[in-house]
A and B are shown apart, each in its own frame.
Chain A
């Protein structure tokens, strides 16, 4: 049973515009939520995280929002760049257990 879900397998955005990637979860006991970026034939790369006690975290062009009542988090990328084209995974952790979503493939069109 998937505890972390990414319902959009793909997303296309024009360069310079905002990319919004979404993620839903079912377990209200998760401690942290994370976003990873993955290029083909490489391992995932950590992007940004947010504690379950916060509702927003920002790092440069990347902002993660957490809505605990809706069990929803989102990653905003502003402005989007062609180099952002990759698969994005959201993940959640409780203790030493990690749960990943199935990923969203982002394409930024020049």
Chain B
């Protein structure tokens, strides 16, 4: 869905470095989500937001924090990146039919 963009699309960083991934949407989605995709695990929900400044934890939230200061932007922060956080990260948004999510193109993160 062209209405959801992610930046950066690729990032290489070192262990212990803080990292912030950005998700931007132009669809006025109320709900926004961050997932990680790893082999053998599918997609796993990290955090989600149900409105500006309203966020909650998902299945694999340890080591991650999020912020949503405005409807359009949902930030995912790794306070101190670890090699286990090497993954592909997807952002998604949904509206009134929240079970229908629209995904961004993904960010490939490598933590050395």
Contact = CB atoms under 8 A, between A and B. Distances in A.
B62 interface: no
Interface string B26-61: 000001010100001111110010100000101100
Contact of A45 (B41, B56, B103): B103
A32 B43 CA distance: 17
B99 A49 contact: yes
Kindly name the residue among A42, A43, A91, A100 whose own CB sees the greatest number of chain B CB atoms within 10 A: A43
Contacts of A100: 35, 42-44
B56 A43 contact: no
Contacts of A42: 105-106
Contact of B50 (A91, A96, A99): A96
Contact of A99 (B59, B90, B101, B106): B59
Contacts of A99: 45, 59
A63 interface: no
B11 interface: no
Given A43-B105, A43-B106, A89-B43, A96 B99 contact: no
B105 to A, nearest CB: 5
Interface string B86-105: 00001010000011111111
Interface residues of A, number: 24
B102 A46 contact: yes
Contact of A43 (B45, B59, B99, B103): B103
A4 B44 CA distance: 11
A28 interface: no
Interface string A91-110: 10100111111110000000
Contact of B33 (A31, A32, A98): A98
A46 to B, nearest CB: 5
Given A42-B105, A89-B42, A97-B45, 6 more contacts: A46-B100, A49-B99, A96-B98, A97-B59, A98-B33, A100-B35
10 contacts: A34-B99, A43-B4, A46-B101, A49-B99, A93-B98, A96-B48, A97-B58, A98-B33, A100-B43, A102-B40
